[in-house]
Amino acid sequence: MLGIDDESILTDFERAEQQTATPKKILDSTRSIYTSRKLRLPKDMLWGQPVLCDLGQSRIRTHNQHCTSEIPEGSCNVLYSFLMDPFFPMKLMQTRWTGGMNAFTPFPSFLLALQASQSDSHTQKFQSRMSQRMSEVSWPAGIPQIRLHLTDLDPEELAEEAKGWLLFEESHPTSNTEDGLRQRRALIEKWATASQEFRESYHSRSAGYTSAVDYPAQVLSQLAPRPNKRFLCLAPINRETHPRSYIHLVKFLILLYVHQDEWSRRHPFDLRGAGDAPRCHIPELLGCPPAATATTTLSEVLPALYLAPADYRAISMTRQGTVVFADEPDLTWFVIDAPGLATGRLTLVEYGSNGDVRVSTLRRPWNMGQTMTFEQVLGKDLDEIAESGIGGPPQYNEPLDMNLPILELLESTRLNNKFLFPGYGCRDLWVRIIKQSAPGYLELEAQGREVEFELDDLLVVDP
């Protein structure tokens, strides 16, 4: 931040430092480096949560030192100066697209100010490395030969189509873990851009594999761990740039704790229905990379999750050089996309091996209890759920007015007889549920300060 309209924020920071000092490193008589900490919200609420951030720290929760500085740091001379790695925003993008960050993470806005005293060679190095990082983050954009397969294939067809690619990959072992991502991407590009004759030469020599992702164990062991979470938010919800969307997301997630009589547990995802990753009540945020210029759509989910990081646990390639997704394609994904966030409806999606939506249906948050009962307990497929109206037929899953206060939203649903159980609920019941699942939310909403509610304050649900 070069300037702050509400200067009382800095006054409060000085006062807080006197009461509870944060760790810092003194550079000279006028500059100190403070560890990351949140500042209070501005009085006018025209912009979001300000953050004092130090040394490339990527978040304000635990495990702060997420990335290691790789070049000399640039210094910003402001009232409370800090140092940061100029490539840190690139690391945030790369981490987001490779699935490395899945909990709610406040992203500060950075202003990079390289001092005039720095040499031209340093600036050239910065520009070169920045260009390299941008290329890494946007991969495989700019390589038109890397494309998805046109049709949906069954597991047997996938194994047959992929056997040449698997033999090709097996003959090019990765030298070390650090080179893994680069080499996997290089192999994918080489296979996609090769001649058909080249690909057929491997296909004809391959004895076959058990599946389309039957990669060597050594290769799979080099992949970064990825949480098994199929609850996603595709809409951008940054509090500074999209405060209304953030408020809608908070309200949406609270409403998932509201359920009717058929679901006796706290949350519809607490039986591993959306994966077994911890904190299943908070979606993985795919709509928040700093470089994003458009909202992620349903058809872009699998490429964003698996193709960009060249994740061999999920992707394979055909003899035509196209990409397929071969990791349990029949799984149900639970997605809050931009239209769903605006209308209060969760999209349940099943994807084909080509990344296209095979089946989808919409559900209001409080109808997910019945939906998960039939899917998790009774083993119903998504197409059965969609066709039979489990979780409510269309008239029970119409768009909601997400701008209404949460209690008014629930009460209007009851008055319009749009709960699956006629007359379900009352104000006292909903207040109790909301206070248990989102302590402090109702008080913030009453003051028009819902944007200050932290997702970390939601009742934790681990499958």
**Segment 396-409, tens digit of pLDDT:** 999 999 999 999 99
- Please tell me the predicted confidence (pLDDT) of residue 138: 63
Cα of first residue to Cα of last residue in the chain, in angstroms, is: 40
Other beta carbons within 10 Å of 142: 8
14 vs 12: CA distance, rounded Å: 5
Least confident window among 7-11, 74-78, 177-181, 186-190: 74-78
427 contact partners, CB below 8 Å, separation of at least 6: 407, 411
What's the sign of the alpha-carbon dihedral 451, 35, 102, 311? positive
Q: Which residue's entry shows tokens 């206070």?
A: 435
Question: Are 277 and 134 within one domain?
Answer: no
DSSP state of 22: P
> Closest by alpha carbon to 159, among 1, 305, 279, 319?
319
- Please tell me the predicted confidence (pLDDT) of residue 439: 97
Does residue 189 sit within a domain?
no
Does residue 320 sit within a domain?
no
Banded pLDDT at 415 (limits 50, 70, 90): very high
Which one has a higher pLDDT value, 16 or 30? 16
- Please tell me the predicted confidence (pLDDT) of residue 249: 98
Helix, strand or coil for residue 43? coil
> Closest by alpha carbon to 434, among 372, 366, 340, 336?
366
Q: Is the separation of the CB atoms in 253 and 281 below 8 Å?
A: yes
Q: Is the separation of the CB atoms in 67 and 248 below 8 Å?
A: no
338 vs 236: CA distance, rounded Å: 8
> Closest by alpha carbon to 379, among 335, 328, 332?
332
Banded pLDDT at 227 (limits 50, 70, 90): confident
Secondary structure of 332-400 as H, E, C letters: EEEEECHHHHHHCCEEEEEECCCCCEEEEEEECHHHHHHHHHHHHHCCCCHHHHHHHCCCCCHHHCCCC
Is 291's pLDDT higher than 70? no
**Segment 200-212, tens digit of pLDDT:** 999 999 998 999 9
Does residue 192 sit within a domain?
no
- Please tell me the predicted confidence (pLDDT) of residue 360: 96
Is 47's pLDDT higher than 70? no
The predicted model gives 57-82 an average pLDDT of 36
Question: Are 31 and 134 within one domain?
Answer: yes
Q: How far is CA 168 from CA 139, 146, 189, 190, 274, in A?
A: 21, 16, 12, 10, 34
Domain that holds residue 434: 231-298+327-457
Q: Which residue's entry shows tokens 């999750």?
A: 305
Does residue 94 sit within a domain?
yes
**Segment 316-337, tens digit of pLDDT:** 999 999 999 998 667 899 999 9
Q: Is the separation of the CB atoms in 68 and 59 below 8 Å?
A: no
Task: Determine if the pTM surpasses 0.95.
Answer: no
Which one has a higher pLDDT value, 307 or 227? 307
132 vs 138: CA distance, rounded Å: 10
Question: Are 239 and 95 within one domain?
Answer: no
- Please tell me the predicted confidence (pLDDT) of residue 84: 39
Does residue 195 sit within a domain?
no
Question: Are 236 and 94 within one domain?
Answer: no
**Segment 55-66, tens digit of pLDDT:** 444 333 333 333
Is 230's pLDDT higher than 80? yes
Give the pair of three-digit tokens for residue 258. 């509201």
**Segment 134-192, tens digit of pLDDT:** 444 567 877 889 999 999 999 999 999 999 999 999 998 776 666 788 999 999 999 99
- Please tell me the predicted confidence (pLDDT) of residue 66: 35
What's the sign of the alpha-carbon dihedral 183, 186, 192, 198? negative
Does residue 79 sit within a domain?
yes
- Please tell me the predicted confidence (pLDDT) of residue 321: 97
Least confident window among 19-28, 97-106, 422-431: 97-106
Q: Which residue's entry shows tokens 């995802």?
A: 269
Which one has a higher pLDDT value, 121 or 447? 447
196 contact partners, CB below 8 Å, separation of at least 6: 320, 321
Is 289's pLDDT higher than 60? no
- Please tell me the predicted confidence (pLDDT) of residue 57: 43
- Please tell me the predicted confidence (pLDDT) of residue 28: 61
Q: Domain tally for the chain?
A: 2
- Please tell me the predicted confidence (pLDDT) of residue 98: 36
Q: 75 - beta bridge partners?
A: 83
Does residue 207 sit within a domain?
no
Banded pLDDT at 11 (limits 50, 70, 90): confident
Question: Are 241 and 377 within one domain?
Answer: yes
Question: Are 413 and 267 within one domain?
Answer: yes
Helix, strand or coil for residue 315? strand
Is 118's pLDDT higher than 60? no
274 vs 277: CA distance, rounded Å: 8
| Domain limit, last residue, from 78, 111, 138 | 138
Does residue 26 sit within a domain?
yes
